[in-house]
Amino acid sequence: MIKRLLQPRWIAMVVLVGLLVASPAYLKDSPYQMAVVTGAFFYAILASSWALLAGIAGQFSFAHMALAGIGAYTAGILGRDLGTTPLQGIIAGTVLAGLVGLVIGILCLRLRAAYLALFTIAFSEILRIWLLTEFQFTEGSNGLMLDKLWEGITGVQEYYVMLGLLLGSMALMYWLASSRFGLFVRSMREDEEAASAMGVNVVRYKVLIFVITSLIVGLAGATFYHQVGIVTPNTMEILQMSLVIAMAVIGGMESLLGAAIGAFFSRVSLEMLREVGVFGFTIELGAWRYAAFGLLLIFTLRFAQNGLLYPIIDRLFMRGARKDTVAKRTLAEEET
C-alpha cells in the first residue's frame, strides 16, 4: 500500500491538490485573482465533463452551457418567486438539468452523433433566445439576480466551494470511467455495432452518460452563478460553448484530468491577457486574446491531437498504471 502511494502519479496528485488547497493564502489579498481562479474551477468542471461525454463516450454535444444556464436560472427563479434557499434552488436546478438531458438523450441518442450535435446547437440557441425575450420571467438581457450561497460568504469560502465541487465531480467521473460502465461507453465510442453485438444496451448507456454529465453541469452552473450573483442569456452563446470545447481539446479530450487542467490554465491565461505590460506600456488586447487562443488550438489540432498536456499526464499518471496492468497480466499468464 505504501509503495503504491509513493508512485509518481500519486505524489503528483497529492502535490497538485495541496497547491490548490493552499492557494487562498496567496490569493486572499487579491479578490480579482481569487474570482478568476474560482471561475476557472467552473470551466474545469465543464471541460472535464465534456471530455467524459465526447472524448470517452463519443457523444459530441453543444449543450453544456445551456444546461449550466438551466441550473442557474431554475435556482434564481425559484429563489425570486418562491423564496427558496440557494441550496434548494441548486438541487432543483441540478434535477431539472438532468431531466432536460434525459429528454434530449431519449430524442437524439438513438441516432448518430452528428444529429446530437445539431440538435444541441439548435436547443441552446432556442433556449438563449427564449430567455432573452421572456423578460417578465427571466429579466431578459438585464440578467437574473441570484442570492449568495449564504449570508456573509467570503471569496475564500467561494473558492473552496468550487474546488470541492471540482474534486468531487472529478472523483465521480474517474470512478465511472474506470468502472464496467466506463468500459461499456468506451466500447460504444469505438464501434457501436460491435458493442451491441456483445450485449451492451447502447441506447441505455448513451442516455445514462448524457444524463450524468447534464447533472454535473447543472450543479456546477447553479452553484457558480450563485457566487457570481447574476446569470444572463449571453452565457449560453455558442461562442462560450466553443471555448469549453477548445479548452478540453487543448488539455486532452480523452483525458479527464487533461481537460480540467487545460480549462483551468486557458481560463486564467485569457484573463491575464486582457492587459499586457511591455516595456512600461500597457496594451489592452481585448478580443485579440481569443486570436492567440485560436492559434494555440490550431497548433494542438495539428501537432498534438491528444492535447498539449497529454505527454505530462501520460508520464506522471498513466505509465505506472500500465506497468501495473502488464505486470498483473504477466503474472496471471505465468500462473496458468
Distance CA 323, CA 3 (A): 14
Q: Answer yes or no: are the C-beta atoms of 296 and 250 closer than 8 Å.
A: yes
Q: What is the pLDDT of residues 56-68, one digit of tens each?
A: 988 889 999 999 9
- Any domain includes 285: no
Would you place residue 198 in the very low, low, confident or very high pLDDT band (cuts 50, 70, 90)?
confident
The percentage of residues in the chain with a pLDDT greater than 90, rounded to a whole number, is 36
Encode pLDDT of 75-91 as tens digits: 999 999 998 999 999 99
The continuous run of DSSP H or E covering 278 comes out as: strand 275-278
Which residue range forms the structural domain that includes residue 33?
Answer: 2-272+306-335
Inter-residue contact 61 to 117 (CB < 8 Å): yes
Q: Do the Cβ atoms of 305 and 321 come closer than 8 Å?
A: no
Counted domains in the chain: 1
> What would you measure as the largest C-alpha separation in the chain, in angstroms?
72
Is the pLDDT at 190 greater than 90, yes or no?
A: no
Higher pLDDT, 239 or 291: 239
Residue 298 is assigned to a structural domain of this protein: no
Q: Is residue 326 part of a domain?
A: yes
| pTM for this model (two decimals) | 0.87
Residue 301, domain member (yes or no): no
Alpha-carbon 180 to chain mean position? 22
**All three cell numbers of 326:** 502488464
CATH number at residue 175: 1.10.3470
CA distance from start to end of the chain: 26
Residue 277, beta-bridge partner list = 282
Residue 82, in any domain of the structure: yes
**Considering the domain boundaries, does residue 292 fall inside one?**
no
How large a percentage of the chain has pLDDT more than 70?
Answer: 83
Helix %, strand %, coil % for the chain, to 5?
A: 80, 5, 20
Mean pLDDT lowest among 109-123, 227-241, 312-326 = 312-326
Evaluate whether 148 touches 155 at the Cβ level (below 8 Å).
no
What does the DSSP 8-state code read for residue 56? I
At 112, list the grid cell.
448518430
* pLDDT tens for each residue of 205-236: 899 999 999 999 999 999 999 999 899 998 88
282 part of a folded domain: no
